[in-house]
Structure 1
Amino acid sequence: MDVLILGAGFSGAAIARRLLPSATSVAGTTRSPERQQALAAMGLDALIYDGETLSAELLSVMGRATHLVQSIAPGKAGDPLMRPGTPSLSHLMPNLRWVAYLSTVGVYGDHKGAWVTEDTPLDPVSTRSLERVEAENAWLGYGRSVGIPVAVLRLSGIYGPGRNGFCNLANGTARRLVKPGQVFNRIRVEDIAGAVAFLVENSMGGVFNVTDDEPAPPQDVVLEAARLMGVTPPPEMAFETADLSPMARTFYGENKRVSNAKLRASGYTFLHPDYRQSLQQMWNENCWKAQI
């Protein structure tokens, strides 16, 4: 198995870490020369890729790759490998046998706190979620056209070592925003990696929500992290009066409970099924600080 991870950021690096022991090779791309060095230190074949220019080195890696994880957001121009004028994927990656496309639960839009599953009609609100729907459809269509499994992983709010409530409390950026009735799902980054590994091992395609068991108010997660740290939590702050970026406000404009029943029924067992267990584990094992 020769793996290529386009966009080896927070999630991509975790996926690489999980697949490295069983893969023949794992390559990952980044825009940053500094991060390229860090990825290389992990054992990856680390490449620079800006989402547009395919270097000779990257083309060589693509030519031998059997498994692709696409983690780069599409943007206005569309998915970087599906844009008009880009060589066909079958030409670029003739040995490809399986694809994972990392998407977002934002494609469902707002459901007023109701539960959603993979069968729920998509109703994206933000431009970036509309772009994700187009990219999902492009990848699923490609899989059908060439007869290989394409797994679309719809991810909820990602956290883990280096990106969590403990870090926010420690650096003074934690806020306890309260919007009555608002809930979010979350997903520990190791479970994203675990889900990818599970789907790879079983050569499975399709659409899967990769999310925890317990949609919860965001202020409750801050409170639990503060309790474990033994620090005073930040005061509650009404959402209406909070100073938020336009992007942050769009997140609060969508309220839904996302089901992971399909992935569970397929055979995947979550390592961190809820935020309480997950925060407790990070605190007990002192593994909440940054990883690459």
Structure 2
Amino acid sequence: MNLFVFGFGFSARHFAESERSRFTTVRGTVTEADRARKLAAETGFTLRAFGPETDDPGIADDLADTDILLVSAPPGPHGDTALSRYRAAIAASRIRWIGYLSTIGVYGDQGGAWIDESTIATPKSARSRERLAVEEAWLALGAETGKAVQVFRLSGIYGPGRNPIVKLREGRTQRIVKPGQVFNRIHVADIATTLAASIDRPRGGAIYNVTDDEPAPPQTVIEHAAALTGLPLPPAVDFETADLSPMARSFYGENKRVRNGLIRGELGVTLAYPTYREGLAGLVSDAERGR
């Protein structure tokens, strides 16, 4: 069974490496040729350059020799670049499972309410509206071709090298307080577990929320990370006066609590890190063991 990944980033790499034993060949794309060569040397996988201005000629042959396709690249200026360029090749291939990594941002602001996959997506930002349009395009391809296309709506991703502990250690985080604001999160290992479970139980047209059990205020997570590590706790900063980029500020404009019952009930997923507490503790333990 061969895997191909459009967008070999943080989540996709973790999935490919953690599930390496199930695949005969792993191939994928990054946006720059130099990055492709570096990652190929690090992982042993075949990586190719692909983006708005790049297109390795080997990709078409790779897709013809692919069984499992994971799409982890963000939308381009005119939708999904992979789908616009390779729709015909994918449709004609033997690919049987397609996973599209999206975001819970497509639900927009829900005023802090609990939501699940039955909640109507009402994206607020242009970025999330683009994501929803790409979700629909991939699902339409599945409906037309009979290939099992699944959409995975991810909450805030963290894991080794990308987490509040790293930010505390590097002094590049703020303890921002906005009353009533909560976020869900998901450890990258639990994303990989969910994708593997879906490959074993494909359901064309499925949409899954991939998220932890406990939405929590962002300052609470920072405080817990500091307590676990003994690192200095940044002073509390009011959201209204915080120094945030427009994109970072936009995340605080959406408030929701996301349920994950479908991945548990349908796919049989047991989260290794059901809340930020287990996730951060696991990262500390891994760091102590030099992992």
TM-score bin, normalised by smaller chain: over 0.9
Inter-partner Cα distance in structure 2 for 1:110 and 1:67: 33
**Aligned counterpart, 1:199:** 198
Amino acid of the structure 1 residue aligned with 2:137: A
**Aligned counterpart, 2:218:** 218
**Aligned counterpart, 1:145:** 144
Amino acid of the structure 1 residue aligned with 2:161: G
What does 1:35-74 align with in structure 2 at a 5 Å threshold? 35-40=35-40, 41-51=42-52, 53-74=54-75
1:135 and 2:142 aligned: no
- Deviations 1:1-38, CA, capped at 9 Å, x for gaps: 11101101111111111231111111121123443234
SS in structure 2 of the partner of residue 112 of structure 1: coil
Amino acid of the structure 2 residue aligned with 1:218: P
Amino acid of the structure 1 residue aligned with 2:118: D
CA contact (8 A) 2:63 2:89 kept: no
Inter-partner Cα distance in structure 2 for 1:170 and 1:135: 37
**Aligned counterpart, 1:209:** 209
Give the gaps of 5 or more residues in structure 1: none
TM-score (norm 2): 0.94
Give the gaps of 5 or more residues in structure 2: none
Amino acid of the structure 1 residue aligned with 2:70: V
- Deviations 1:116-167, CA, capped at 9 Å, x for gaps: 1111011100001000110001111111111121110000001100000110
CA contact (8 A) 1:13 1:39 kept: no
SS in structure 1 of the partner of residue 28 of structure 2: strand
User: Shift of the alpha carbon at 1:87?
Assistant: 5.0
SS in structure 2 of the partner of residue 12 of structure 1: helix
Inter-partner Cα distance in structure 2 for 1:31 and 1:76: 14
**Aligned counterpart, 2:277:** 276
**Aligned counterpart, 2:286:** 285
SS in structure 2 of the partner of residue 49 of structure 1: strand
SS in structure 1 of the partner of residue 99 of structure 2: strand
Inter-partner Cα distance in structure 1 for 2:86 and 2:9: 25
1:185 and 2:184 aligned: yes
Aligned residue-pair number? 288
Inter-partner Cα distance in structure 2 for 1:90 and 1:203: 21
User: Shift of the alpha carbon at 1:81?
Assistant: 2.8
- Deviations 1:157-205, CA, capped at 9 Å, x for gaps: 0110000011001110021000000000001111111111111122234
**Aligned counterpart, 2:15:** 15
**Aligned counterpart, 2:26:** 26
- Root-mean-square deviation (CA, aligned residues, Å) is 1.8
TM-score (norm 1): 0.94
Inter-partner Cα distance in structure 2 for 1:76 and 1:288: 43
**Aligned counterpart, 1:157:** 156
Residues 51 and 190 (structure 1 numbering): CA distance in 2 closer, same or farther, change over 3 Å?
A: farther
